[in-house]
């Protein structure tokens, strides 16, 4: 699905999702965060949404799950999963350092929120502009820049924590 089609398809869903998230969370700011995260997850899963008629059902389920996860996260800390490593050419010492660096990066990325991971993916993997990301999640470009800055800062902090833990 093209991004323009996606943006048009989710534009009319946004209000319903906001109402649903507000019902679960009871807070307009948290509901807005939940809707943005829902739209990010929907974009990431866009390959599984063959047509726009399925998008409404999928977005409702994602919004419900995101809202419930936000409620759970308020009372339970997240754990970092261990990451798999891939062998690389070079001497054994270099391979070990590279494997440890990849493990540290993966753990740091996994420690980010789903929203932060999605924003980083859209910007750095999919090479989307801030304006395009803002269109996808239905917010302003400056808000996306702020979210990206927070995501990068969190990633850096996670990397420092993992480095301190291993060192």
Q: For 135, how many CA atoms within 13 A lie in the half-sphere containing its CB?
A: 13
**Contact of 126 with 88, CB cutoff 8 Å:** no
- What's the CA gap between 43 and 37, in Å, rounded? 10
Q: Classify each residue of 26-48 as buried b or exposed e, where b means 16 or more C-beta atoms within 10 Å of its C-beta.
A: eeeebbbbbbbbbbbbbbbebee
Tokens of 78: 């997240």
Residue 63 predicted with pLDDT over 60:
yes
Structure tokens at 153: 């800062």
The pLDDT of residue 127: 81
pLDDT at 92 over 70: yes
Q: Is the pLDDT of residue 21 over 60?
A: yes
């Amino acid at each position: 699905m093209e991004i323009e089609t996606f943006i048009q398809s989710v534009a009319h869903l946004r209000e319903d999702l906001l109402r649903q998230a507000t019902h679960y969370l009871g807070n307009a700011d948290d509901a807005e965060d939940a809707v943005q995260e829902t739209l990010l997850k929907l974009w990431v899963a866009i390959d599984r949404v063959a047509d726009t008629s399925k998008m409404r059902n999928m977005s409702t389920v994602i919004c419900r799950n995101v809202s419930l996860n936000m409620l759970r996260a308020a009372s339970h800390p997240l754990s970092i999963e261990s990451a798999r490593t891939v062998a690389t050419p070079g001497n054994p010492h270099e391979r070990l350092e590279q494997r440890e660096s990849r493990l540290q990066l993966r753990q740091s990325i996994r420690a980010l929120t789903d929203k932060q991971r999605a924003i980083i993916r859209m910007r750095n993997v999919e090479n989307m502009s801030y304006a395009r990301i803002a269109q996808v999640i239905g917010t302003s470009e400056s808000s996306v820049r702020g979210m990206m800055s927070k995501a990068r800062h969190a990633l850096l902090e996670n990397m420092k924590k993992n480095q301190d833990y291993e060192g």
